C-alpha cells in the first residue's frame, strides 16, 4: 500500500497547496491512502465542515485533529456526521466524534487510522498508550486491517518516539504532529513500523510555526499580548511522509520525507519517481 501523510495544515496557505497539489500527487504517485492533520486548517485554530469537505474532495481518506479539535465550535456538531474526521482517542469519555476509524483505501483495502494526544507539556488527557493499545488490539494488523496509522499529536519528542516503539511491529506508521517543524529522523523501526518524530507543517514557513511573525515576536520581547495570532499567508510548503507497506504483513518497506513548494529544501520519495 502506498501511503502519504501530510502534516499540520495551517490556514489558507496550507489549504491552498493541499487542494491544488494533492489530486495530482494521488495520480502521479498512485497513492492508496492519504491522511492529513487538519487541526490548524481554519486560520490556525480548528477545522470547519466546509474545510473538511474540501480535503475529502481533494482526495484525503482521513483527517486527524489534535489539541485544537474543537476551537471552531461547529466541530462539536458536524464531527458526528464526518466519519473520516478523527479527534484524539484519549479525550474524556463522552467527547463528540471518534478517536479511530477503519477507512476504505483507494485500492479497496482497509486502514485503521488512530489519533492520539500526548500529555507532556499539554493539557491533561487520558493515557494515550492505553487508548492506542485498545484500538490496535480490537483491530490488529493483518487480521483486522491492511494498514494501521497512528498520528501522535504532542509536544515532547520523547513521547512521540516512545509511542513509535510501543507500536513497533503492530502498526504500519507512527507519525508525530503538533510542533510544526519537520524532523530528519524518518526511518523504519526494528519491528517494521515506519516512524518520524514530526511530519512538519503544511503552511507558510516565513512565520513563527505558521503564525504571522509580529505578534509572537511582540510577546517574546515584551511579555505582553498585543493582538490575536493570525496565520501567515505566504506561499506554503507541503510537508509530510511517504510510506510503502508490504501487502502481506502490512509493515513498512520504504519511507521518505516529502517537502513541496514554499521556502524549504524540496524533496520527494525517490522510490516513487
68 is catalytic: yes
Pairing of strands 33-37, 62-64: parallel
- Sorted by sequence, the CB contacts under 8 Å of residue 183 that are 6+ apart come out as 157, 176, 196, 197, 198, 200
Give the CB-side neighbour count of residue 65, counting CA atoms within 13 A. 31
165 and 192 Cβ atoms separated by less than 8 Å: no
Q: Are 245 and 145 in contact (CB under 8 A)?
A: no
Phi, psi of 14, deg, nearest 5: -65, -45
Q: Which of 68, 178, 180, 186 is catalytic?
A: 68
C-alpha to C-alpha distances, 71 to 75, 148, 260, nearest whole angstrom: 8, 27, 28
How far, in whole angstroms, is CA 49 from its chain's centroid?
18
Q: Which residues of 55-82 are buried (b: 16+ CB within 10 A; e: fewer)?
A: bbebbbbbbbbbbbbbbbeebeebbeeb
Joined together, the cell numbers standing for residue 35 give 491522511
Cβ neighbours of residue 270 closer than 8 Å, sequence gap 6 or more: 256
The neighbouring-strand residues paired with 86 are: 64, 98
The residues annotated with a catalytic role in the active site are 68
Amino acid at each position: 500500500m502506498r501511503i502519504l501523510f501530510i502534516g499540520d495544515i495551517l490556514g489558507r496557505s496550507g489549504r491552498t497547496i493541499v487542494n491544488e497539489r494533492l489530486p495530482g500527487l494521488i495520480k502521479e504517485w498512485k497513492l492508496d491512502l492519504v491522511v492529513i492533520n487538519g487541526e490548524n486548517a481554519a486560520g490556525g485554530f480548528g477545522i470547519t465542515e466546509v474545510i473538511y469537505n474540501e480535503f475529502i474532495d481533494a482526495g484525503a481518506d482521513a483527517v486527524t485533529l489534535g489539541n485544537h479539535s474543537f476551537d471552531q465550535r461547529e466541530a462539536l456538531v458536524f464531527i458526528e456526521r464526518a466519519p473520516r474526521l478523527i479527534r484524539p482517542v484519549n479525550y474524556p469519555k463522552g467527547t463528540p466524534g471518534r478517536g479511530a476509524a477503519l477507512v476504505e483505501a483507494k485500492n479497496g483495502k482497509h486502514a485503521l487510522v488512530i489519533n492520539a494526544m500526548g500529555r507532556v507539556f499539554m493539557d491533561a488527557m487520558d493515557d494515550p498508550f492505553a487508548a492506542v493499545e485498545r484500538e490496535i488490539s480490537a483491530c490488529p494488523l493483518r487480521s483486522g486491517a491492511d494498514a494501521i496509522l497512528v498520528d501522535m499529536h504532542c509536544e515532547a519528542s520523547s513521547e512521540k518516539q516512545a509511542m513509535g516503539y510501543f507500536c513497533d511491529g503492530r502498526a504500519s506508521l507512527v507519525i508525530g504532529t503538533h510542533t510544526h517543524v519537520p524532523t530528519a529522523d524518518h526511518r523504519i523501526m526494528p519491528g517494521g513500523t515506519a516512524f518520524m518524530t514530526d511530519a512538519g507543517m503544511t503552511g507558510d514557513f516565513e512565520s513563527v510555526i505558521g503564525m504571522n511573525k509580529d505578534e509572537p515576536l511582540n510577546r517574546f520581547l515584551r511579555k505582553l499580548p498585543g493582538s490575536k495570532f493570525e496565520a501567515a499567508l505566504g506561499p506554503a510548503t507541503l510537508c509530510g511522509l511517504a510510506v510503502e507497506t508490504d501487502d502481506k504483513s502490512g509493515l513498512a518497506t520504504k519511507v521518505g520525507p516529502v517537502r513541496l513548494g514554499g521556502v524549504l529544501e524540496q524533496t520527494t520519495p525517490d522510490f516513487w519517481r
